[in-house]
Amino acid sequence: MVGSVVILVTSAPYGRENAYGGLYTAIASLDSDLRTVVVLTGDGVYSALRGQSGEKSLGYPTIGDLFHRIHPRAKIYAESSSLNERGLGKADLIEIVEPIEDRELLEVFVKYGEAIITY
Amino acid sequence: MKSLTLYLLSGPYTSQCTDIACELAQRALEKGYRVNLFLYIDGVHVPKKGQRTLKFPNVENRLKKLVPKGLSIKACVRCASARGYVEGEVPELETDTFPTTQYVEGASITEIYAFPAWIKESDKLISLGG
């Protein structure tokens, strides 16, 4: 039986619904006692940027607020190479999101990836 | 009995994902699996009644054949409500599902918590359309 899940967010927020969907699924998984990790990779790292105001600019919920419903029950990682490729670093991120190197990310997948769901 | 959960995030016809999900469901049912299909984001369009296709395989007709063979179908209420499928504010007491007349028989609308419940009882999860 599946006991853990990796929520892999690869899409940027706001332009598509996928990132919201991933984070809502992470919250439901945690509420259901599944071991859960959120990984932001590719354009998914934009979800973790500080200073978002989706409500004011778009009328959409600010996606960064959902991270606070996940942490500290689950870790939220942003892949370092994806951050670097986009000129971003830890200082640009919401403080509860941790950059993670590829090698460490592999260990996360091995440990938690009984199910991996891509958004 | 082994259990497979399929998680579909895209609607029918815009990609092959729905057809792949149906094919996987059919094969798994034939092998004796219990098969669940959870619909999320645009996946909630998949069980809509009244689909008419000229050239492409008709997803509605395929689901109508798979449900009697044991396929369970649930759709996320947040996604389904946003897209106009939910016809009431509260779930029906007996089934804990939200009312709709727009889905094929056997497909229901539930809280997202039905999905992690299915994950936990499944041997395998396959995610499509993300």
CB-CB: which of B40, B116, B127 is closest to A34?
B116
Task: Please tell me the distance in Å from A77's CA to the nearest CA on chain B.
Answer: 19
What global pTM score does this model have?
A: 0.94
The structure tokens 């942490």 sit at A71
- Please compute the mean of the pLDDT values over residues A51-79 and round it to a whole number: 95
Task: Please tell me the distance in Å from B111's CA to the nearest CA on chain A.
Answer: 10
Residue A81 forms contact with B (CB below 8 Å): no
Q: What is the CA radius of gyration of chain B?
A: 14
Please give the DSSP secondary-structure letter assigned to residue B12. Answer: S
Question: Which pLDDT belongs to residue B17?
Answer: 97
pLDDT at position B91 over 90: no
How far is it, in rounded angstroms, from Cα A91 to Cα A2?
35
pLDDT tens digits, one per residue of B104-114: 999 999 999 99
Question: Which pLDDT belongs to residue B31?
Answer: 97
B17 CB-near residues (< 8 Å, 6+ apart): B8, B9, B10, B128, B129
Please give the DSSP secondary-structure letter assigned to residue A46. Answer: G
Query: Contacts of residue B40 in chain A, CB cutoff 8 Å?
Result: 21, 25
pLDDT at position B93 over 90: no
Residue A4 forms contact with B (CB below 8 Å): no
Composition of chain A by helix, strand, coil, percent to 5: 45, 20, 35
How far is it, in rounded angstroms, from Cα B26 to Cα B70?
10
Instruction: Note whether ipTM > 0.85 here.
Output: yes
Query: Which residues of B fall below an 8 Å CB-CB distance to A?
Result: 7, 9, 40-42, 78-79, 112-113, 115-117, 119-125, 127, 130
Structure tokens at B69: 């063979």
Inspect the interface and report whether the beta carbons of B119 and A115 lie closer than 8 Å. yes
Q: How confident is the model at residue A93 (pLDDT cuts 50, 70, 90)?
A: very high
How far is it, in rounded angstroms, from Cα B116 to Cα A32?
6
B28 CB-near residues (< 8 Å, 6+ apart): B4, B35
Please give the DSSP secondary-structure letter assigned to residue B40. Answer: -
Mean pLDDT of chain B: 96
